[in-house]
Amino acid sequence: MLASVIKNWASVSSKTLHPGTYTFSILTVYSQRHLPTRRDMNHYAPQWIEDWCAENGWTDLFQERTDYWAFPPNAVMPVPIPTQVLRAIKAKRGLCFEEKIWCAAAGLSAITAGAFSYFFASPMPLVAAFTFCAVVMARMEDDAL
């Protein structure tokens, strides 16, 4: 992997006109090709959306990032599943499995941190648990809704 980064850096830096941009070039090449991308939390179980599509005649469901798309009845182009439908499904079904796991992990970390904080007489475990719980709750927010 390092050899491919150096080879890519050499090809990019040879095209660079200013010597001071070599470092930027190698960081840009590395970040664009090798760093993992952020994965958003899935707020809906795919089966819930498939069931709704089957009930309403929508076909060929697929997911693009966090949006669900399908072909409405008699349509030739896919459209996103309407937000009102997603809200209704979420209100009816509640939390999906992934959300339940994250909520359980947050609760368990808070309880464990409370015990460690008492045992060590230090607030730092509670600070760490608070940080973890804040990140979990931020990931659970659904921007589309």
Mind spelling out the 3-state secondary structure of 60-121? Answer: EEEEECCEEEEECCCCCCCEECCHHHHHHHHHHHCCCHHHHHHHHHHHHHHHHHHHHHHHHC
Q: Mind listing the pLDDT tens digit for each residue in 100-124? A: 999 999 999 999 999 999 999 999 9
Which comes out higher in pLDDT, residue 17 or 113?
A: 113
Statement: the pTM of the whole predicted model exceeds 0.85:
no
Query: 61-99, pLDDT tens digit by residue?
Result: 998 877 889 999 988 999 999 989 988 998 899 888 888
Provide the residue ranges of all domains of the chain, joining segments of one domain with +. Answer: 2-34, 46-140
Contacts with 89 (C-beta within 8 Å, 6 or more apart), sequence order: 44, 48, 49, 52
pLDDT one-digit tens code per residue, 23-68: 444 444 444 444 444 456 678 888 999 999 999 999 999 988 778 8
Q: Is 140 helix (H, G, I), strand (E, B) or coil?
A: helix
